[in-house]
Structure 1
């Protein structure tokens, strides 16, 4: 079950999908690894993973971090919400947290699907208000300090192209969310840190990392 939210806090109505390797700098940084066995070439189609409902944390929620995880990667992104007609209904900032890991060659479920590991922005921005998603500029602040800036004009697949290419091999339903990507050089955060994901035209997403209570994890 997804966590409760107040009437003013957006939560997805469908499945949330993350996208890997959709920022050019991320592809360039991993190019040597992608050219090595077993694949020996970069992927030709979008690379997706699922952020299951147990990961969803509304804006303002405290996100628990297990005791055996000293730091987490902050994956700032913008999620595009699929409308009833299959087009884009709106956009929302997201904080795709993960346990640092080196390889993308295996499904990253154990690193990305921990309880609470997806901060979700407080409000959906209607797609009709957005002239061009490539103009999105996202800042990540940890304890008030800017730690990363993302320029969405540097995407490998811009929003509509990504949506179209994913649609070639799977059907997205109304309410599903497809993240545009998180970029390279993701900052690290630890218990006690306050993380803010902000972008012009969006309400700021804020979450705080807390120590997981003993006995809470399976």
Structure 2
């Protein structure tokens, strides 16, 4: 299933993408696409719905594909070439940081260059959405706790990240810096999360092009690893790292500015399209 949320910001309704690519309204069956609906029982109920009998929704705004996200957990430097382009050592364990949930954004909403920013950057990533409470789980069973996957972009302000006290979270958490979607693709439709292509275009130029096969730490390991340090809850989103081709990796470096346009996607998980605009008080 491809589950989504549509409508005005703050008033989104649940939806599903049918086999013809049409958005159908799920409001008669569930109140939203959130932790309750992402459990194995919740997904089973949704699979029993007659999608062809649901109302069609024409050209709506899409919101973040998951509601009620408790935390966004991110993995840094998880692609070998990305670590190399930043001049960093290959990590021996996953680098973990958090991204504020107030950064969540729709897949076609503007990305806002924040106040004081000089180095706003792009980072296409595979998003993993948790469907069951996970604490101290084994790597072998880790994917059983995943409800599905989505396209994400870990938008970053590099100066805030690296030169404002060394706290990555403050460079990752500005409003609009966490677009997820357009939809959540349930895990049964993604047999191998390590065989997905990722790409990102800036103003029509392809700057990131890679595969999740190049991850240093794969999804199974990351989910199990995180569960050793924190309880993962239904609705939590894991951003699993970005490949090479970010603005900070170019010489000279390249960063987003108002008027730019960003397109990015992951095979089978859908595309995002963002106008870049300036912060206004």
TM-score, normalising length: structure 2: 0.66
Q: Is structure 2 residue 207 aligned with structure 1 residue 159? A: no
Cα shift readout 1:131-171 (whole Å, capped 9, x = no counterpart): 21111111101222212112111111111111111112221
Alpha-carbon distance in 2 for matches of 1:138, 1:12: 24
Higher mean displacement: 82-91 or 101-110: 101-110
| Equivalence for 1:37 | none
| Equivalence for 2:157 | 99
Change (3 A) 1:125 1:155: same
Q: Trace 1:170-189 onto structure 2 (pairs within 5 A).
A: 170-187=230-247, 188-189=255-256
Corresponding residue SS for 2:158 = coil
CA contact (8 A) 1:49 1:107 kept: no
1:62 to 74, 97, 110: 110
CA contact (8 A) 1:92 1:120 kept: yes
1:191 to 255, 258, 263: 258
| Equivalence for 1:39 | none
Change (3 A) 1:5 1:144: farther
2:100 to 39, 46, 52: 52
CA RMSD of aligned residues (A): 2.3
Q: Is structure 2 residue 203 aligned with structure 1 residue 143? A: yes
Where relative contact order (Cα < 8 A, 6+ residues apart) is larger, the structure is 1
* Runs of 5+ unmatched residues, structure 2: 1-8, 16-62, 135-144, 248-254
Cα shift readout 1:101-155 (whole Å, capped 9, x = no counterpart): 4749932122111121112221001111112111111110122221211211111
Tell me the CA shift for residue 71 of structure 1.
Answer: 4.0
* Runs of 5+ unmatched residues, structure 1: 35-41
Aligned residues: 204
Alpha-carbon distance in 2 for matches of 1:182, 1:197: 12
Change (3 A) 1:146 1:43: closer
Q: Is structure 2 residue 270 aligned with structure 1 residue 203? A: yes
The structure with the largest helix share of the pair is 2
Q: Is structure 2 residue 112 aligned with structure 1 residue 112? A: no
TM-score, normalising length: structure 1: 0.83
Tell me the CA shift for residue 190 of structure 1.
Answer: 1.6
Tell me the CA shift for residue 73 of structure 1.
Answer: 0.8
Q: Bigger radius of gyration, 1 or 2?
A: 2
Corresponding residue SS for 1:134 = coil
| Equivalence for 2:25 | none
